[in-house]
Copies of this chain bind each other. A is one copy, B any other.
Amino acid sequence: MRPVAIVGIGKTPFGAFQDRDLRSLGVEAGQKCLENAGARPSRVEAFYLGNFAGPSFVGQNHLAPYIAGAMGIEGVPATRLEAACASGGSAFFHAFSSVAAGLYDVVLVTGVEKMTSQPTPRVSEILAGAGDLAGEIKAGATFAALFAMIARRHMHQYGTTREQMAAVAVKNHANAFKNPYAHMRKLITLEQALAGKPIAEPLTIYDCSLISDGAASVLLAPLERAAEFAGKPVLVAGIAQTSGPVALDEREDITTFAAVRKAAEKAYRMAGVTAAEIQFAELHDCFTIAEIMAMEDVGFVKPGEGGPYVQQGATALGGARPVNASGGLKAKGHPVGATGVAQVCDVVEQIRGAAGERQVRNHDLGLAQNLGGSGASAVVTILRAAR
């Protein structure tokens, strides 16, 4: 395994774009990324596409050559990877692995989703496909309902409060307000968050991430060849993808995601760092309770301490360890297949010191955590400034 660097990134804005189709979003992110890296499409030796449900959202399938071809990338392996909401992270993981193992030198990863062309009930139905249709979904659950049950149990077991969950939303909205690529740039107060329209008790509309369109791309190369590219290189120090049971009722404990814990352990070991050393992170806040659990599962705090940690301001932009400086899935937006790749782009921007108004103070070592469904897939990535 040789060291691998990110040598280029590219993102589209996240939002609801009636005039944009899925392919054009993927192509825009890919082209911006190649431009950022100063690389021609012909240099790309393999293409990995993260996409959750393009065929269900817009009908189009066979998306990897469809998007690659439109960028002028042909004749190479072009493959779509799906791991529910961790599809982007999984595409990045497999792309990284292929470069680390020496299969290829220059690999492009794109994550993309186009969700807003469907009405919300249909979007919920498509998202439910990431759960156990034959079990929990058949019984009437939506993903909001699954995470509501998780939140209830976390509240019961650890005393986590609605105010602590709302504090995640307030913080992430404040961060997205400073992010020109964010879907929702609107400041909210704790009172507003608590008084939000109920979705699945105890979750209000402000506890739920957004339905968005968008794409993000990353170009990978061996660290020893990073100087050939224009983008300031960032080292992939550690990474792991893991899996667990899809159905919530197959878990012993729903206040923690075993797949995330295991992925984090593996990534820390690979990077040779501890959770305590991580300076900032992009965590998978599909619901506010998920950000609280993620902080616990990646080891930033002990189980049950996630709520107080956010409430104390530790994870604010100016706090001891900023979480979701981008605005997170909650306010930056959550175009499912794009999310895991966008998280990596956002950590890279921070490490490069190029995050503008949302730049964090200490930015040498960052973490991205991408979750699939209610925890059946997880990807954890640790990025470090290339010395």
Q: Do residues B259 and A79 form an inter-chain contact, with CB atoms below 8 A?
A: no
Any B CB within 8 A of the CB of A343: no
User: Which of A6-14, A34-42, A244-252 is near enough to bind chain B?
Assistant: A244-252
A256 is an interface residue with CB less than 8 A from chain B = no
Say whether A66 contacts B246, CB under 8 Å.
yes
Query: With a CB–CB cut-off of 8 A, which chain B residues contact A69?
Result: 243-246, 250, 376
Main secondary structure of the interface of A (DSSP, over half): mixed
**Would you call B82 and A129 a contact (CB within 8 A)?**
no
Q: Is the CB of A377 within 8 A of B56?
A: no
In the complex, the answer to whether A130 meets B61 with C-beta atoms within 8 Å is yes
A78 and B134 contact, CB distance less than 8 A:
no
A66 to B, closest residue via Cβ: B246
- A240 to B, closest residue via Cβ: B77
Name the B residues within 8 Å of A84 (CB-CB).
61-62
Q: Is the C-beta of A372 less than 8 angstroms from some C-beta in chain B?
A: yes
Least CB separation from A128: chain B residue: B59
Q: Across the interface, do B61 and A129 meet the contact criterion of CB distance under 8 Å?
A: yes
Q: Are A243 and B376 in contact (CB under 8 A)?
A: no
Write the nearest CB–CB distance from A26 to chain B, whole angstroms: 13
- Complex interface: chain B residues within 8 A of A349 (CB): none
Contact in complex: A377, B52 (CB < 8 Å): no
Taking CB atoms, residues of chain B closer than 8 Å to A310 are: none
A55 at the interface (CB under 8 A from B): yes
Q: Is A62's CB under 8 angstroms from B259's CB?
A: no
Q: Which chain B residue has the least Cβ–Cβ distance from A375?
A: B65
A163 within 8 A of B: no
- Tell whether, in the assembled complex, residue A74 and residue B243 are in contact, meaning their CB atoms are under 8 Å apart: yes
Give the segment of A91-99, A109-117, A318-326 that binds chain B.
A91-99
Question: Do residues A134 and B93 form an inter-chain contact, with CB atoms below 8 A?
Answer: no
**Distance A69 CA – B90 CA, assembled complex (angstroms):** 17
What is the 8 Å Cβ interface bit string for chain A, positions 358-387, against chain B (1 contact, 0 not)?
000000000000001100110000000000
CB–CB B242/A376 < 8 A? no
- Bound-state CA distance A80–B63 (Å) is 14
Q: Are A79 and B74 touching (Cβ within 8 A)?
A: no
Which residues of B sit under 8 angstroms from A133, Cβ to Cβ? 58-60
Kindly state whether residue A230 has any CB partner on chain B within 8 Å.
Answer: no
Distance between A17 CB and nearest chain B CB, rounded to angstroms: 16
Known: A245-B65, A376-B65. A79 touches B90 (CB 8 A): yes
Residues of B within 8 A of A259 (CB): 75
CB distance from A176 to the nearest CB of B (A): 27
User: In chain A, residues 221-251, which have Cβ atoms closer than 8 Å to a Cβ of chain B?
Assistant: 240-246, 250
Residues of B within 8 A of A377 (CB): 62, 64-65, 78
Is A242 a contact of B75 with CB atoms below 8 Å? yes
Q: Which of A63, A125, A133, A240 has the most CB of B within 10 A?
A: A133
Contact of A81 among B53, B65, B81 (CB under 8 A): B81
Which residues, 98 to 154 on A, are CB-close (under 8 Å) to B? Answer: 98, 100-103, 125-126, 129-134
A-B residue pairs in contact (CB < 8 Å), sample of 8: A60-B129, A62-B376, A62-B377, A65-B243, A65-B373, A76-B243, A81-B81, A97-B101
